[in-house]
Amino acid sequence: MADPTKVYWDSCAWLGLVNAEPDRLAQLQGVYGLARQGLIEIWSATISIVEANRLKSEKNSSRPISPESIALLDDLFFQPFVKLVSLDSRIAKWARKLIRETDRLRGPDSIHLASAIVWNVPLFHTYDHDDLLRLDGSICCMDGTRMEITQARNPFDGGLFDERTQKPA
């Protein structure tokens, strides 16, 4: 069997899933389900754990946030099919380079993008129109693969020749 397909999620993908955002939920659940089946790996920087720190329903709540909410978030992140990328000096230097060379790119988004570049994750899921979606096709992974930056989608849709979508003969 082929290696799982790598897909990167930035924080807004995680928040869309945990908050059951109606315009995002079906696609995010679909991708997460493929990961549970072992067909894909979801990659994300550990900064996502910090950025996805509360549920939408807790936005105006006082602190501390309920342990149940933290457990719900942790249950999504800490799975064998979720590959969390730590911020090391190589990723930090890439993130700094991206900020300096890319208009309107912010710190956390540059860390997400640098993580995907360094770990050669060619499919990047986000809902961030201002900073990330506009960069679709203009970024390459370290291995030279052009990165697709898109809203969450099944990476096998339209994959007529992908072995994972074939029916046995």
Rounded-to-integer distance, Cα 76 and Cα 82, Å: 8
Residue ranges and CATH numbers for the domains of the chain are 5-164 (3.40.50.1010)
The first and second tokens of residue 148, run together, are 């697709």
Strand order in the sheet with 40-45: 82-85, 40-45, 5-9, 123-125, 148-150
Beta strands in 122-169 (DSSP E): 123-125, 148-150
Q: How far apart are CA 159 and CA 28, in angstroms?
A: 19
**So what's the pLDDT on residue 165?**
43
pLDDT of 57 reads 82
SS3 59: coil
Q: Read off the pLDDT of residues 124-168 as tens digits, 9 standing for 90 and up.
A: 999 998 889 999 999 999 999 999 999 999 999 864 444 444 444
Q: What is the mean pLDDT of residues 60-81?
A: 88
